[in-house]
Chains A and B, each alone.
Chain A
Amino acid sequence: DTAVSQTPKYLVTQMGNDKSIKCEQNLGHDTMYWYKQDSKKFLKIMFSYNNKELIINETVPNRFSPKSPDKAHLNLHINSLELGDSAVYFCASSQARGLGYTFGSGTRLTVV
């Protein structure tokens, strides 16, 4: 029973398309996050939501739009995909700051 699950695991798409990545957690955590990991393995936070409310919105192009229908779900929609969007996107959740995150297994997005 996966704690933080992301779908799809792999996503290959053409430039200009719109795509979504879904994330669900069954841990009862209040806060969820999206991180982007680039080709050099660098992890950078994109967004965080606490109980459906946007808390952190880093300097991310507005082509990226997170949506949290309830506190167990945080989806990421990306419009007009560009080559530079190719990366691994990780969803994570946490109950409290000092407890760390539980990560999903990632979605590898390849834009061609």
Chain B
Amino acid sequence: AQSVTQPDIHITVSEGASLELRCNYSYGATPYLFWYVQSPGQGLQLLLKYFSGDTLVQGIKGFEAEFKRSQSSFNLRKPSVHWSDAAEYFCAVGAGDDKIIFGKGTRLHILP
């Protein structure tokens, strides 16, 4: 069965520092992989997605993610965070029956 693990429930970084949010997936075939962001009281917004091609994917808001098949990982990165990046981040894998399975999320806190 497909699954997604986000090992960090909370991450705190200082404004201007770099960020990496971890994501590991379990899926038998080539996965569709996604990162979504949820600001407080809001819906989820797609940051970026991967299915095939270049394993380094660029997204919106200056985010990028790298697919590493050997490690079953799809970590999200940003070189310099802004206070407005404080939110909940969800990694997700597209399953064979057209549904997306979400990880439990990582809450990002930004220190001024």
Enumerate chain A residues within 8 angstroms of B43, measured Cβ to Cβ. 4, 90, 103-106
* A/B pair count, beta carbons within 8 Å: 58
B45 touches A56 (CB 8 A): no
Q: Does B44 contact A (CB under 8 A)?
A: yes
Closest chain A residue, CB of each to CB of B52: A98
Closest chain A residue, CB of each to CB of B35: A100
Q: Please, could you name 6 A-B residue pairs with CB atoms under 8 Å apart, sorted by A?
A: A41-B88, A90-B43, A97-B32, A97-B94, A100-B36, A103-B44
Q: Does A112 contact B (CB under 8 A)?
A: no
B93 to chain A, nearest CB (A): 11
Cα–Cα distance between A41 and B46 once the two chains are bound (Å)? 17
Question: Given the known A-B contacts A40-B104, A41-B104, are A102 and B46 also in contact in the complex, defined by CB atoms under 8 Å?
Answer: yes
Within 8 A of A (CB), among B92-112: 94, 97-102, 104-105, 107
Q: Is the interface of B mostly helix, strand, loop or mixed?
A: strand
Q: Does B74 contact A (CB under 8 A)?
A: no
A67 to chain B, nearest CB (A): 19
A101 touches B49 (CB 8 A): no
Enumerate chain A residues within 8 angstroms of B51, measured Cβ to Cβ. 98
Question: Given the known A-B contacts A31-B98, A48-B98, A56-B97, are A101 and B104 also in contact in the complex, defined by CB atoms under 8 Å?
Answer: no
Q: Does B67 contact A (CB under 8 A)?
A: no
Enumerate chain B residues within 8 angstroms of A90, measured Cβ to Cβ. 43-44
Enumerate chain B residues within 8 angstroms of A4, measured Cβ to Cβ. 43
Most-contacted residue by chain B among A4, A33, A40, A43 (CB, 10 A): A43
B98 touches A41 (CB 8 A): no
B94 to chain A, nearest CB (A): 5
A56 touches B49 (CB 8 A): no
Question: Given the known A-B contacts A41-B88, A43-B90, are A101 and B100 also in contact in the complex, defined by CB atoms under 8 Å?
Answer: yes
